[in-house]
């Protein structure tokens, strides 16, 4: 240890060698010899624990990039994009050393987004805030697993209690009738997802041999991977994803009619007979929503109703847009409406745990949205009642 000209004390601690074999040291300074000894002892303790002290001053932005590159081959394209998006709120911390970051750095950002999302101008939902926190936590877990750090500051970040909770929405009865009544190339996969609860990837990988129309069941055992060249992957999101789903009579009848017009092995393919890519599906779904909007949208606030969805002047979008996942959510909601128990709904959806199903649909259990009944309502009868409601109103 030596005393510097500025009156502070200084010593060096050997860190090891870099990738090129050169010895590396870290200079430690302090106002007193005791302070320097304490800092040196702490550094040697981290080295003794196997911490990679050569990288512990890495900027947070670089750690995020390393983690994303590590995860990229392991994720679907959409998951990778979601992770990248979830890290954007923390961009302000990118140039700060990861060793210097503490809980308050992340808590402050979470709190500010709970009050106002700078992109939407509205408070960020609890689910989105949890996604932000979970992604940042995984980044630091990656650093711990690689012995760069031994502490995860995001583990202690809390979600504000007054952050808004965004519930997933099921389709209304009118919207369900739109799906049932409207011919379109997307109607077949839409009917499957709404009346069997299949995930989009499961639906687009479904083959006719997986459907037993006599027993009214669907065997789910594979999924479509849209990343890169579309291909079929055996298995599912979890082992529970491999399952047999019961389907209602209205779907059985619909599929019987569809099968007579199909010479394909797969149930849902592009117009050219190929597996769906992410872009191909997105275009088909946008076309489907445009069709529903033109048929069922309320244009009373406009002087002239569009003559065609291909109107060169443009057709205003007046219905509420929904994604394919709304259809799966609708299926589960209808099962709960029929009085089915949690374990049955979990099995039909292919969730890994009952807790997953409960966490998603707990708002249905805690409100009066579910019919209070001691007996299970027949699912066929329930769906038929929704379908026939339009005819009763017409009469």
- Sequence-separated (6 or more) residues with CB below 8 Å from residue 338: 371, 376, 377, 378, 379, 382
Token pair 């992410």 is found at 278
Q: What is the pLDDT of residues 176-205, one digit of tens each?
A: 999 999 999 999 999 999 999 999 999 999
Least confident among 31-45, 280-294, 307-321: 307-321
Output 365 or 21, whichever has higher pLDDT: 21
Asked if residue 335 has pLDDT above 80, the reply is yes
Share of the chain above pLDDT 70, in %: 89
5, pLDDT greater than 60: yes
**Average pLDDT of the chain?**
86
Least trusted range by pLDDT, from 3-7, 220-224, 357-361? 357-361
Residues 112-140: tens digit of each pLDDT: 999 999 988 889 988 899 999 999 999 99
| Residue 376: pLDDT over 70 | no
Res. 52: pLDDT tops 50: yes
How would residue 395 be classed by pLDDT, with cut points 50, 70 and 90?
Answer: very low
* Position 50 pLDDT exceeds 90: no
Tell me which of 104-108, 147-151, 386-390 is least confident.
386-390
- Total number of residues shown for the chain: 395
For range 53-66, the mean pLDDT: 84
Comparing 50-54, 209-213, 245-249, 326-330, which segment has the lowest mean pLDDT?
50-54
What is the mean pLDDT of the segment spanning 61-69?
A: 93
Those residues with Cβ within 8 angstroms of residue 326's Cβ, 6 or more apart along the chain or in another chain: 168, 169, 170, 171
pLDDT at 54 > cutoff 80: no
- In the prediction, which pLDDT does 339 show? 82
Lowest mean pLDDT among 277-291, 316-330, 356-370: 356-370
pTM: 0.65
Query: So what's the pLDDT on residue 163?
Result: 85
Residue 53: per-residue pLDDT: 59
Q: Where does the pLDDT of residue 61 fall: very low under 50, low under 70, confident under 90, or very high at 90 and above?
A: very high
Does the pLDDT at position 86 exceed 70? yes
Confidence (pLDDT) at 375: 56
- How many percent of the chain have pLDDT more than 90? 48
Confidence of residue 389 (pLDDT cuts 50, 70, 90): low
């Amino acid at each position: 240890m030596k005393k510097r000209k500025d009156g502070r004390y200084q010593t060096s601690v050997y860190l090891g060698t870099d990738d090129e074999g050169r010895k590396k040291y870290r200079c430690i300074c302090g106002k007193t010899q005791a302070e320097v000894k304490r800092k040196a002892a702490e550094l040697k303790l981290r080295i003794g624990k196997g911490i990679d002290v050569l990288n512990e001053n890495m900027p947070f932005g670089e750690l995020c990039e390393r983690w994303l590159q590590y995860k990229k081959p392991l994720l679907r394209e959409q998951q990778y994009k979601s992770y990248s998006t979830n890290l954007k709120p923390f961009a302000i911390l990118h140039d700060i050393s990861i060793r210097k970051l503490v809980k308050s750095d992340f808590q402050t950002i979470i709190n500010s987004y709970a009050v106002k999302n700078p992109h939407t101008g509205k408070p960020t939902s609890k689910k989105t805030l949890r996604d932000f926190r979970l992604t940042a936590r995984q980044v630091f877990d990656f650093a711990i697993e690689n012995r760069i750090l031994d502490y995860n500051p995001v583990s202690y970040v809390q979600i504000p209690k007054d952050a808004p909770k965004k519930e997933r929405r099921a389709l209304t009865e009118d919207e369900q009738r739109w799906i049932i009544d409207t011919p379109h190339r997307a109607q077949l996969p839409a009917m499957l997802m709404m009346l069997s609860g299949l995930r989009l990837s499961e639906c687009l990988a479904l083959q006719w041999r997986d459907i037993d129309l006599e027993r009214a069941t669907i065997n789910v055992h594979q999924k479509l991977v849209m990343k890169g060249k579309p291909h079929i992957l055996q298995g599912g999101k979890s082992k529970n994803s491999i399952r047999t789903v019961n389907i209602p009579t209205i779907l059985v009848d619909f599929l019987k009619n569809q099968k007579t017009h199909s010479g394909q092995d797969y149930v849902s393919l592009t117009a050219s007979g190929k597996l769906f890519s992410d872009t191909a599906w997105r275009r088909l779904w946008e076309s489907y929503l445009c069709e529903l909007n033109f048929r069922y949208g309320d244009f009373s606030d406009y002087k002239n109703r569009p003559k065609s969805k291909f109107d060169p002047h443009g057709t205003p979008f007046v219905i509420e847009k929904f994604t394919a996942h709304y259809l799966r959510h609708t299926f589960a909601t209808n099962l709960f409406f029929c009085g089915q128990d949690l374990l049955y709904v979990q099995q039909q959806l292919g969730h890994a745990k009952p807790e997953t199903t409960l966490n998603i649909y707990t708002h249905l259990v805690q409100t009066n949205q579910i019919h209070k009944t001691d007996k299970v309502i027949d699912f066929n009868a329930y769906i038929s009642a929704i379908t026939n409601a339009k005819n009763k109103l017409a009469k």
